[in-house]
Structure 1
Amino acid sequence: MSKVDFILGFDPSLNGTGYCVLDVRRKHPKITEVGTVQGRNKTWGEEDTTSVKLTLISAKTRELVAKYRPAYPSVFLERGFSNQFNNSTQAGFRARGALEAELVGFDIVEFPPTQVKKVIGKEGFAAKETVAESVAEFLNVPMETFANDNESDAAAVAVLGWLKHVKGAK
């Protein structure tokens, strides 16, 4: 495999897609960039449409792919889940579609939330705060690095990708 400098991890959601870029050029990964593509914030009105939100998710994904080369050939996502709220499930699938449209050429590796929680949070049903604390400790960053659960979840997904596909492959 050719030299890899960065890993991309995402927590897809229409109202707050979390993303994390890890620099993996050293023995231990380091956060290069972490953030959230907001679907709702103080500047958005009720009239803002799903298509606007999807456009922002696509644009940020395109920016990350262009900015962080060479990236690992796989991109890591937390797998969405279905629930009794069909509109919520469909919104998650739309956000995922916006991501995938910009990730042509990458293998997409999904991790179920329980696997992320088990490996990073030490148990399959760990609370989001436990996962955030564990990933912050692993990456040696303060908890304040993550503005919300979407960001800490994306970082946990990126770390799990590194553990299973990069570190484990060496």
Structure 2
Amino acid sequence: MRILGIDPGLNTTGYGVVEARGQRLHYQASGTIRIPKGSLPERLKTLFDGVSEVARQAAADVAVVEIVFVNVNPQSTLLLGQARGAAIAALVAQGLPVVEYTALQLKKSIVGYGRASKSQMQEMVTRLLALPGQPGADAADALGLAICHAHAKQGLAALHQATSPSNEGKIDVSSGKLSAAQLRGVRVRGGRLIG
């Protein structure tokens, strides 16, 4: 599965593409889309066009975007929400399903700590993907989102397989939802399934 992570912003939007083959993750591409100063509608169009082009070139199966948190400054939150909306619209226009994770989910998945710093995220993304150098902060967050989704998919697949051995993991768990019957008898200890 090829996963495109997008870290939207009105000045810089990070992107990262990771391919998950079994348990292994393979780096494909990353970078940033720089949005020049101008009116808000012009900046949103630049963002939409940039994300559309990245999505076309990435040939991903799914896109992942960070959920906006409420900032101390409501104006900043509103602007970030508009940037996020433009990015999601571009991804959907390219026919990609979009999955969302909070910053807390992202940081816990990558670093193991929900209040991890940007530099910690960059270091762990570099290690997880065996990169020769650290990506920029925005690109690292985007790659982190892709890794987070790959880990979530692997966990759901393992959970499904543990709860339904007769199906041998053939049911699609892309929605992230399992029925109560599928969860019956499954326990988790220390982040691991223990049947």
Q: Same fold (TM over 0.5)?
A: yes
Kept in 1, the 8 Å contact 2:14–2:32? The answer is: yes
Q: TM-score, normalised by structure 2?
A: 0.72
Partner amino acid, structure 2, of 1:20: G
Q: Which residue of 2 aligns with 1:21?
A: 17
Matching of residues 1-170 of structure 1 within 5 Å: 4=1, 6-25=2-21, 27-39=23-35, 44=36, 48-69=38-59, 71-72=60-61, 74-104=62-92, 105-144=95-134, 146-147=135-136, 149-165=137-153, 168-169=156-157
Counterpart Cα distance in 1 of 2:54 and 2:21 = 17
- Deviation for aligned residue 1:26: 6.6
Counterpart Cα distance in 1 of 2:8 and 2:46 = 12
- Alignment CA distance shift 1:67-1:166 (3 Å): farther
Runs (5+) with no aligned partner, structure 2: 158-168, 170-195
Counterpart Cα distance in 1 of 2:133 and 2:10 = 24
Kept in 2, the 8 Å contact 1:37–1:57? The answer is: yes
Q: 1:119-153: CA deviations, max 9, x gaps?
A: 21121111111111011100001343x12x11111
Counterpart Cα distance in 2 of 1:36 and 1:119 = 22
Runs (5+) with no aligned partner, structure 1: none
Give the structure with higher Rg (CA): 2
- Deviation for aligned residue 1:100: 1.6
Counterpart Cα distance in 1 of 2:58 and 2:133 = 24
Q: Once superposed, what is the RMSD of the aligned Cα atoms?
A: 2.0
Kept in 2, the 8 Å contact 1:131–1:156? The answer is: yes
* Identity of matched residues, %: 30
- Deviation for aligned residue 1:101: 1.4
Q: Which residue of 1 aligns with 2:188?
A: none
Partner amino acid, structure 1, of 2:26: K
Indicate the structure whose relative CO is greater, using CA pairs within 8 Å and at least 6 residues apart: 1
Q: TM-score, normalised by structure 1?
A: 0.82
Secondary structure at the residue paired with 2:24?
Answer: coil
- Deviation for aligned residue 1:15: 1.4
Partner amino acid, structure 1, of 2:97: D
- Deviation for aligned residue 1:27: 4.8
